[in-house]
């Protein structure tokens, strides 16, 4: 067992087991306090909410509470390890919500793999929450589950493995493309992976200006082609080509996007790419090709990974706390494309405004103190302008409030 594994087990076991607890936010030190917190006083807010359901945001924690929900079918790089084994990851997500955005969360691990049953369970739980973060649910079921919940619920539902990855990839890619003097409309992109994260990344890149005809997608069986008889999301990315292998379509590619597994990309593949290749090898913990091996054959490459021990970490925590913070604060009924795009642009701009901006700094660092107040207001503004927010927030005042919150979270 490695040192990091030993340290992680000790970390999770020490003190109170796990990483989270619940705290009481009102005084309960007197008999009168107890009478207000519970019986008989609690009946008053109950009746107010019965008359006007929106009052739940005023009298309960709903407006600052997110459900982090999984069935454990696609946990990190561990695969289908089950709901219970996925609980440490979900607790970790709760920690990140609180640490980076002051959002309270409950982790909920549901032992159910039937998509329709899972939709029913989550929909039945939704009155508790102001938003739902779906996590580590395998493709293709995750597409269906998110879509059905978004259709049914009037609170934000966000599958982070899809959209969180896509947003941070989008920000890094915009900067890498600009830095290398390219035009997003003309870049040739080769993607290894056709799961939830890969498909979401590609859809967002198209939304940002990339062209489908310039994108080649590969799964474990090779290039997605019209000859393979594909269905669902994969069919949308099938190309009419005789090429069957990644090594064939990578010739002259400007961008490699890896959302698959270790060892998929070779140094020979990198050598076939265009000058100053953009290489995002995001498989975690072991990337498609290690950055140092990319550098050996392409010293001018712009490289990103999913790991914290290399520059340009593509980490979902750069976006999901701020998306939900904005959505909760402006009363958004959903997290839409306009909000995601605003987050991409804000993250990209933040990296560009940093003195460290360069090939080893195309996205902000996770601990950048500007994130909460710099990114969140842009998302809230996009929510209101696109018609999904109940209230408009003054961007300057909201940013100042978030600066105050950030100081409390340090």
Q: Where are the domains of the chain?
A: 3-160, 161-409
Binding region: 135-136, 161, 284, 315
Q: Write out the two tokens for 55.
A: 């009052």
pLDDT for 59: 97
Residue 354 clears pLDDT 60, i.e. is over it: yes
Q: Is residue 383 within a helix (H) or strand (E), and if so which, with residue range?
A: helix 371-385
Distance separating alpha carbons of residues 159 and 151, to the nearest angstrom: 14
Q: What's the chain's average pLDDT?
A: 95
pLDDT digits (tens, 9 = 90+) for 32-65: 999 999 999 999 999 999 999 999 999 999 999 9
Distance separating alpha carbons of residues 207 and 114, to the nearest angstrom: 31
CA atoms within 13 A on the CB side of 66: 34
The topology (CATH level 3) of 3-160 is Rossmann fold (3.40.50)
pLDDT digits (tens, 9 = 90+) for 101-126: 999 999 999 999 999 999 999 999 99
Contact partners, residue 194, CB within 8 Å, separation at least 6: 217, 218, 219, 224, 233, 234, 237
**Closest C-alpha among 100, 182, 99, 168 to residue 363:** 168
The set of catalytic residues is: 38, 93
Query: In angstroms, how far is CA 15 from the centroid of its own chain?
Result: 30
Q: Is residue 373 within a helix (H) or strand (E), and if so which, with residue range?
A: helix 371-385
Q: What angle do CA 288, 236, 277 make, to 5 degrees?
A: 35
Residue 399 clears pLDDT 90, i.e. is over it: yes
**How many of the other CB atoms lie within 10 Å of CB of 167?**
29
Contact partners, residue 124, CB within 8 Å, separation at least 6: none
- Residue % of the chain over a pLDDT of 90: 94
pLDDT for 159: 95
Q: Cis bond leading into 393, ω under 30°?
A: no
Q: Is 59 buried (19+), middle (13-18) or exposed (0-12) by CB count in 10 A?
A: middle
pTM for the structure as a whole = 0.93
**Closest C-alpha among 184, 187, 189 to residue 217:** 189
Homologous superfamily (CATH) of 161-409 is NAD(P)-binding Rossmann-like Domain (3.40.50.720)
The stretch 356-369 carries a mean pLDDT of 96
Among positive and negative, which fits the CA dihedral 94, 58, 124, 26?
positive
For helices 160-179 and 337-352, the axis angle rounded to 10 degrees is: 40
For helices 115-125 and 141-152, the axis angle rounded to 10 degrees is: 40
How many helices and strands (H and E) does the chain possess?
17, 10
Extract long-range pairs of 177-185: CB within 8 Å, 24+ residues apart.
Answer: 177/254, 177/255, 177/278, 179/302, 179/358, 179/359, 179/362, 180/254, 180/276, 180/278, 180/302, 181/276, 182/254, 184/208, 184/209, 184/210, 185/209, 185/210, 185/211
Domains 3-160 and 161-409 share a fold: yes
Q: Give CA separation, 278 vs 312, 314, 359, in Å.
A: 12, 14, 10
Q: Give CA separation, 12 vs 80, 89, 356, in Å.
A: 21, 11, 34
pLDDT digits (tens, 9 = 90+) for 188-211: 999 999 998 999 999 999 999 999
pLDDT for 145: 97
Q: Are strands 215-219 and 189-192 parallel, antiparallel or unpaired?
A: parallel
Name the pLDDT band for 269 (thresholds 50, 70, 90).
Answer: very high
Q: Write out the two tokens for 18.
A: 């796990």
Strand partners for 159: 134
pLDDT digits (tens, 9 = 90+) for 313-335: 999 999 999 999 999 999 999 99
**Closest C-alpha among 71, 204, 82, 200 to residue 135:** 71
Residue 214 clears pLDDT 90, i.e. is over it: yes
Distance separating alpha carbons of residues 164 and 166, to the nearest angstrom: 5
Query: Are the CB atoms for 45 and 37 separated by under 8 Å?
Result: no
pLDDT digits (tens, 9 = 90+) for 296-319: 999 999 999 999 999 999 999 999
pLDDT for 410: 80
Binding region for (S)-malate: 284, 315
Residue 358 clears pLDDT 80, i.e. is over it: yes
The stretch 173-179 carries a mean pLDDT of 97
């Amino acid at each position: 067992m490695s040192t990091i594994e030993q340290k992680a087990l000790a970390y999770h076991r020490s003190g109170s087991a796990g990483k989270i607890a619940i705290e009481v936010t009102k005084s309960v030190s007197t008999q009168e306090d107890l009478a207000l917190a519970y019986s008989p006083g609690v009946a008053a807010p109950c009746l107010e909410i019965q008359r006007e359901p929106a009052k739940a945001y005023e009298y309960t924690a709903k407006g600052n509470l997110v459900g982090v929900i999984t069935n454990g079918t696609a946990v990190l790089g561990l695969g289908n390890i089950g709901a219970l084994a996925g609980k440490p990851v979900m607790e970790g997500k709760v920690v990140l919500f609180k640490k980076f955005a002051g959002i309270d969360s409950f982790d909920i691990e549901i032992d159910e793999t039937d998509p329709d049953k899972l939709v029913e369970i989550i929909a039945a739980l939704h009155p508790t929450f102001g938003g739902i973060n779906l996590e580590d649910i395998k493709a293709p079921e995750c597409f269906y589950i998110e879509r059905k919940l978004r259709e049914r619920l009037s609170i934000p539902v966000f599958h982070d493995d899809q959209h969180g990855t896509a947003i941070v990839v989008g920000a890094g890619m915009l900067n890498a493309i600009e830095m290398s003097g390219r035009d997003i409309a003309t870049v040739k992109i080769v993607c290894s992976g056709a799961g939830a994260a890969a498909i979401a990344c590609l859809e967002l890149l198209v939304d940002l200006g990339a062209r489908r005809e310039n994108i080649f997608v590969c799964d474990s069986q090779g290039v997605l082609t019209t000859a393979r008889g594909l269905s669902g999301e994969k069919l949308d990315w099938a190309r009419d080509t005789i090429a069957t292998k990644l090594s064939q379509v990578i010739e002259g590619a400007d961008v490699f996007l890896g959302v698959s597994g270790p060892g998929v990309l070779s140094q020979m593949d990198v050598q076939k790419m265009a000058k100053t290749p953009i290489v995002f090898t995001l498989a975690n913990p072991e990337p498609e090709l290690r950055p140092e091996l990319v550098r050996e054959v392409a010293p001018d490459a712009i490289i990103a990974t999913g790991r914290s021990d290399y520059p340009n970490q593509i980490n979902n925590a750069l976006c999901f706390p701020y998306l939900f913070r904005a959505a909760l604060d402006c009363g958004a009924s959903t997290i839409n494309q306009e909000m995601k795009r605003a987050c991409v642009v804000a993250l990209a701009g933040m990296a560009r405004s940093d003195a460290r901006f360069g090939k080893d700094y195309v996205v902000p660092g996770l601990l950048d103190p500007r994130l909460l107040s710099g990114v969140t207001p842009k998302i809230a503004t996009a929510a209101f302008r696109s018609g999904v927010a109940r209230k408009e927030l003054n961007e300057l005042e909201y940013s100042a409030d978030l600066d105050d919150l950030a100081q409390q979270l340090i």
